[in-house]
Amino acid sequence: MTVVYLKYVLILLCFVLGGVLHTQLGLSQAWYLYLGGVALLLFQLLMGNVWTAYSHLKRGRPILAERMLNQVWNPKLLIRRNRAYYYFCKGLIALQQKDMDYAAEQLQLALDTGMEHPNDSALACLNLAHIHFVQRHWEQAEVWMEKARSFPLNDLMIKDKLKELEQAIAARKN
């Protein structure tokens, strides 16, 4: 967890050392530290800790993933790909916490923003189908299942979960 804060320490260190050099030797000796601090700050604003959070989520550590996502200052500033996975992770965490409405909202935002991998898009659609199934919106659940099937899948777990949900919906109709 302390490695995550290293970025913030480096940003601060660049500006503090730049300030010290600037006052003692002038701007010509400190500009590169200012530039390094600005570059690190921009990197944090545009990239965030999204991939670290995604990695924690894939390893079954949603609490750590949520901590990482809470360090993102403004999700709207993230580049499109990272913003999509930010919403995706937020949605999956909310789903684990049984906050279905917020999870659906975040997963929909992830899909609208555009995720890079078809498996992740299919997983978002599958989770939206699950949410609608739990909320007894059968038609919406079927629509999301069809959207999940429309992606080229190579993940057996997603295929199995699609079959299970399809069987549950079919049993519900009968």
- Give the whole-number percent of the chain exceeding pLDDT 70: 97
Global confidence as pTM: 0.86
Q: How many CB atoms lie within 10 A of CB 13?
A: 15
pLDDT, position 44: 85
Domain spanning 49-173: which CATH class is it, in words?
A: mainly alpha
- Do residues 139 and 173 lie in contact, with contact meaning Cβ atoms separated by under 8 Å? no
Q: Domain segments of the chain: what residues?
A: 1-47, 49-173
The yes-or-no verdict on residue 31 having pLDDT over 90 is yes
Say how far apart CA 84 and CA 73 lie, in whole Å: 15
The yes-or-no verdict on residue 4 having pLDDT over 80 is no
Would you state the torsion angle of the CA atoms of residues 55, 59, 64, 70, taken in this order, to the nearest 10 degrees? 40
Nearest alpha-carbon partner for 164 in 75, 154, 28, 172: 172
pLDDT band at 1 (very low <50, low <70, confident <90, very high): very low
HEC per residue, 104-121: HHHHHHHHHHCCCCHHHH
